[in-house]
Amino acid sequence: MVNSQKDCQSQDEANAVVLPRTVGKLETEEENKVMKTCYFCQGEVINKRIRHVHHWGDEIIIFENVPAEVCTQCGEAYFSPEVLQMMDKATLERIPPAKSIAVPVFSLP
C-alpha cells in the first residue's frame, strides 16, 4: 500500500476536472473485510470507495469511486499501486473526464 495523502494545497483559481469514467455510487461505503491496521494510528482499516481530491499545480482533479483502504479512526486513505497508477495516468494523459464541475474559490484578506 502507498500513502498518497501527500499533495500540498494550491492557491489561486483552480480548474476543477473530474476524471473517473466509471458509473457507480459516489462516496459510498463498500465495506468488506478488514485488511490491516492504520500505519499512523493502528486504527481499523476497511475497504471502501472514496472521493480523492488530487492537487496538480493550480488544478484540482477529483477522482470518484476510488477503491481505497481507509482508517476508520483517523481517515487516512491508502491506495494500491494499481489505483495510484490509474490516477497518475488519467492526470498525465488528460483523458476526457466523466464530467467537470465549477469550484468556488475564496481569498481571505
Report long-range pairs for 35-38 (Cβ below 8 Å, ≥24 apart): 35/69, 36/1, 36/69, 38/71, 38/73, 38/74, 38/76
Exactly one of 2, 35, 53, 74 binds Zn ion (CB under 5 A); that residue is 74
Could you tell me which residues are beta bridge partners of residue 45?
71
Closer to Zn ion by CB, 47 or 73: give it: 73
Does position 70 interact with Zn ion (CB under 5 A)? The reply is no
* Stretch of residues binding Zn ion (CB under 5 A), selected from 11-19, 46-54, 59-67, 73-81: 73-81
Applying CB under 5 A, which of residues 2, 26, 34, 41 lies at the interface with Zn ion?
A: 41
43 binds Zn ion (CB under 5 A): yes
- The number of beta carbons lying within 10 Å of the beta carbon of residue 62 is 20
39 vs 56 by CB, closer to Zn ion: 39
8 Å CB contact between 44 and 72 = yes
Q: Residues in the site for Zn ion, rule: CB under 5 A? A: 38, 40-41, 43, 71, 73-74, 76
